[in-house]
Structure 1
């Protein structure tokens, strides 16, 4: 029996719709055809460096607040950055941003932090902007599926 790879989802979900987005990521990542990936969701205020150190890939989710990531996700980075900096370089990463208007500032902040951590973007951050749309749910599900399938296949 092979050891399962670990996909960590750290996402801030302060509303019903953002929780639906997390649930969609998890649904995609736990698709029945994916056999060797264990998916763990931890809200940012509960996630710690040990969670990141145990992960083989990570998906980050955040709302855009005042043109920046959520305080909860920023707190996650503040608490874990130096503990994982040297040990998790190259960690495959993806992100989604729930932005009411723009998403540019949040995307830039995430790209800056992940560049500092030397994590590897698997794809461009998904920015779900404007009024809430059911398309966001399918996009998040696809993101989860793509990350988990890529991890399962050894592509990332």
Structure 2
């Protein structure tokens, strides 16, 4: 069994809905050999990363950058996984009230340092809440889990 780790900062009803949608997509009935683990950035750490085969990161845009919770996760995990998890397939979604570019840049900088491998461009949910965000988040989870399931990542 492969393990997909979802580390999502979800401080609101809408951001929880996004995290749940990613999980729902990752646990699609056609995906047979992937286990999905969902944790908050405060509950996840280096051991979770070492034990996973792929990771989805979810964050809010806070003051033009990633949430403090996700930054804390990276602060606690970075050096503990740097040499062991190079090439880890990863994806990112951002719930941005504005444009999300500062948040994207900040996370991409850390992921580049970790030498993780993007499986798709970061997904940025910009502006006012839209119900379409849910299906896009679900597709993100399904894409990463299906890639792991089929040996593509």
TM-score (norm 2): 0.99
Rounded to whole Å, the distance in 2 between the matches of 1:28 and 1:87 is: 27
1:97 and 2:94 aligned: yes
| Structure 1 residue ranges without an equivalent (≥5) | none
Of residues 25, 31, 34, the one that matches 2:31 is 34
Question: For each residue in 1:19-71, what CA deviation from the matched residue of structure 2 results, as whole angstroms up to 9, or x when unmatched?
Answer: 00000000000000000000000100010100000000000000000000000
Does the alignment pair 1:79 with 2:86? no
Q: Distance in 2 between matches of 1:127 and 1:34?
A: 25
Report what 1:150 is aligned to: 147
Q: Is residue 109 of structure 2 the alignment partner of residue 112 of structure 1?
A: yes
Residue of structure 1 aligned with 2:4, choices 7, 10, 17: 7
SS in 2 for 1:127: strand
Gaps of 5+ in 2: none
The question of 1:58 aligning with 2:65 is answered no
How many residues align? The count is 153
Could you tell me the TM-score, scaled by structure 1's length? 0.98
Q: Secondary structure at the match of 1:86?
A: coil
How big is the alpha-carbon RMSD for the aligned residues of Structure 1 and Structure 2? 0.4
